[in-house]
Chains A and B, each alone.
Chain A
């Protein structure tokens, strides 16, 4: 039997999948926040997931990663009505979905400026280059022993 790879290109699929974000219900969102606290309980001077701007982050990520919507809704359905799951149990029973939802929740957490501020994480700021002279001066000192040791390749005849 021939398996045809769908003709739908990425932009078409994204249009379709974008509509799924509307179906994250209030209850699903609450369950995801609870799961967030289970995975990211805070500590080391940092807030727990629910103390970050998690729901806003989830929405931002699902808008650019609609492929994670199914994982989010499915995991919310699995955890619905129970607070007794442990991280290890979820991971053992639903390994793929676990990793997808963990990516969603951690990514959302890191979109909170307070979190990245505590980490002193510059987050894609530009860092200007030092002058070429300064850079080369540092390197000349460092590479001197390498140059003095000499060739480390096997010579061949052309």
Chain B
């Protein structure tokens, strides 16, 4: 059943319709509700059912293969749509439902770096953003309070943090790598995570089961079903419609949006009129919906005068380097975020033969089942059979991973378009993604893999395993509705407002002109807060 928050029937014309109840959509909905505006948030998925993630049970490690898979094509859950990925070398990973894809995030919280906003000026590639790091600082600070970030302030690589809680313990493995980086003279810092380390609002301190990745069964991870929606529910002017799939955004004769057409939980087509429509449907869902909303006025899709809707898809190619140690290093459990991160090789250096860089995040390798997986262990040719038990003992509790997030530069050939032959449960066209990892990204990752290997060897690792390039790493879906100053070469302006549809806003990662090389949630929600403030202050004035 669809769930409605709010005690009265839906407004005939809402002040705002928000599409998507993930972090950005929930931030927007809460802001509008608190400002006294009527707001209807629609999500095609449902509330999460944590009983099925078995986070406290022995079967936890097995449920991620299906019902909690990050691949909608495998999971096929409520609200999921198929994705045609035949022409992509990385798969898109996402979650549909209240909480959005953060339902499956490791909760690694990382601000973009100042240089990420000035890529063209500093490195001569791609584009500058129409905003600066400094402009976002107040919103980052507010987001870090609202999203309960546990971290250590004072990192000389990330200026201006004000985390409300101390970080999760770095553990034996973190201590080893921290000392190694101190020996090498390389940057490292305790990881900031959206994982509470004390009672904080409705969040509970981490139990360190190492099981916070799938859902939020222990309520220690910062997900908006816990941090935001109970507050939103107190407002009589806010509504949440789950299992409600938006089919298209409508426009009027003046070129403004007038609301949305959606299928409700029973499959009935309905219309919700609105003065403003906000899209927060991910770097895949947002361009899909804009393209599905093509009409006579907008034959190439809504807000697509520039032709860039769906183009410039960036997915952060990812590498992992595993160090295996002789001694036990406590990596079967713990807070499943990043215990440390390093920005040592984040900034461009011409001598390396590529531009831009990557953040490294140190993560435990996990429990027993994780020791048998092809990621990060590769084909595991020697695992099964007579070596199984010895290999298991070699890896389990003895291994730790540097995860490397490569900055992915935008290319118009990497894109989201509508499939011509695949449709979802409502008969709506599925998105098709076309994506090829660039030469710059491959060089960048090769360089960083070599440095991460040095780091682990310095820490005392006896064996190094470099994860092979695999498809299932497209966690961060960015760039498909570019932000910029000009309607000719961007979809939205600096506030997230569509150049050609003045009451349509986009607030997910699709607006990013470049991808940075860090986990994007911090910046996505900071930008959403900024956009909400602009809309509300504009209305009041």
Contact = CB atoms under 8 A, between A and B. Distances in A.
B159 A102 contact: no
Contacts of B188: 146
A132 to B, nearest CB: 5
Interface string A1-36: 111111101100100000000000000000000000
Interface string B391-422: 01100110000000000000000000000011
A77 interface: no
Contacts of B390: 43-44
Contact of A156 (B77, B115, B374, B392): B115
B369 A106 contact: yes
Contact of B430 (A5, A102, A136, A158): A5
Given A87-B384, A106-B372, A152-B187, A42 B389 contact: yes
A2 B76 contact: no
Q: Chain A interface residue count: which class?
A: 35 or more
A94 interface: no
A15 to B, nearest CB: 13
A147 B154 contact: yes
A5 B82 contact: yes
A3 B422 contact: yes
B333 interface: yes
Interface string A125-148: 111111010011011001101110
B190 interface: yes
B319 interface: no
Nearest to B60: A124
B213 to A, nearest CB: 12
Most buried by A among B58, B77, B397: B58
Contacts of A151: 156-157, 159
A44 B215 CA distance: 35
Contact of B397 (A60, A121, A125): A121
Contacts of B114: 153-156
A139 B170 contact: yes
B179 interface: yes
B396 A61 contact: no
B389 A152 contact: no
B430 A153 contact: no
Contacts of B388: 39-41, 43
A127 B60 CA distance: 17
Given A110-B369, A142-B175, A158 B134 contact: yes
Interface of B: 54-63, 65-67, 75-78, 81-82, 113-115, 117-118, 121-122, 132-135, 152, 154-159, 166-170, 175, 178-179, 181-182, 185, 187-190, 197-198, 205-211, 332-334, 343-344, 346-347, 367-369, 372, 374, 384-386, 388-390, 392-393, 396-397, 421-425, 427, 430
Q: Lowest 4 A-B CB distances belong to which pairs?
A: A158-B134, A158-B132, A126-B207, A127-B208
9 contacts: A10-B75, A13-B76, A45-B393, A124-B211, A142-B182, A146-B188, A150-B156, A153-B343, A156-B117
Interface of A: 1-7, 9-10, 13, 38-46, 60-61, 64-65, 67, 87, 91, 99, 102-103, 106-107, 110-111, 116, 119-130, 132, 135-136, 138-139, 142-143, 145-147, 149-158
